[in-house]
Amino acid sequence: MLSELLQLNIFAFFLIFARIGTALAFAPGFSASYVSLRIRLGIGLGITFVVLPMLAADLPVIPATVSGLAKLLAAEVVVGGFYGVIMRILIASLQTAGTIAALASSMANALVNDPVAEQQSSTISGFLLTMAVVLIFVSDMHHMMIRGILESYGMFRPGEPLPFGDFANVTARQVADSFAMGLQMASPFMVLGLTYYIGLGLLGRLMPALPVFFFGLPIQITLQLTMFTVTISGIMIAFVQHFQSSLGRFLP
């Protein structure tokens, strides 16, 4: 029994963990810097242990050479990284929307340490990304992310050649869709900002002695924050629908 465990299950366990662990290393929420590395590792190992009996039968045999084993593990890491990056690109639409909204509201210089993007982001971007992670887990869409990782074994079977061209096309298409979605979510701020700038420019021409900067900036920030309060629910609903529909493409 022990010899069978060492010869078969250990190989299958690490082969499955290579894909699942890599995907979770990029997945929103799971890969956040405020989540302990031990917790992330425990989640990946726990999921691998649960799905091992279901997936072990479809795995290839143990390669006879070290190079063959390394090639097989590298292919699983690539597939897991591809799926994890797609999920990260989906949530990046909110960072795009927040950055554009902050630029239109003259708050682009107000930076905070964003724990989701793991970099300095605008205050609006950090708020939107934090809300997105909360909604993903509250609405159980993290189950869809995990299910999508498991369903990838039906599309990309271990040991078979990887379609790198398709990976590149899907990633490029998803980046374009994510940017377009972020632009659509930030469109109310762009329209309001453009209208306000035009009105402020006309007012400056009609009243040259008016200190436009000191007069207009507080009003602009107030109007944009009011617009943000009105549109925040619609922005998050649009993001949830976009995130769910995009993940649904990877599910049967």
pTM attached to this predicted model: 0.81
Arithmetic mean of pLDDT over the chain: 82
Q: SS in 3 state form for 86-113?
A: HHHHHHHHHHHHHHHHHHHCCCCCCEEE
What local confidence, expressed as pLDDT, does residue 118 receive? Answer: 65
How confident is the model over 143-187, as pLDDT tens digits?
888 888 888 888 888 888 888 888 889 899 999 999 999 999 999
Q: Which of 142, 166, 140, 141 is nearest to 155 (CA)?
A: 166
Query: Domain-by-domain residue ranges, the chain?
Result: 2-248
The confidence band for 39, taking pLDDT boundaries of 50, 70 and 90, is confident
Give the start-end residues of each E strand in the chain: 111-114, 119-122
Residues in the chain: 252
Tracing tokens 């869709």 back to the chain, one arrives at 177
Query: How far apart, in whole angstroms, are the C-alpha atoms of residue 248 and residue 18?
Result: 23
Residues whose CB falls within 8 Å of the CB of residue 122, separated by 6 or more in sequence, listed in order: 98, 99, 102, 107, 108, 110, 111, 112
The token duo for 196 is 């306000």
Q: Give percent of the chain with pLDDT exceeding 70.
A: 92
Query: How far apart, in whole angstroms, are the C-alpha atoms of residue 22 and residue 81?
Result: 5
How confident is the model over 126-143, as pLDDT tens digits?
888 888 888 888 888 888
**In the predicted model, what is the mean pLDDT of residues 54-80?**
83
**In the predicted model, what is the mean pLDDT of residues 196-218?**
77
The token duo for 222 is 């107030």
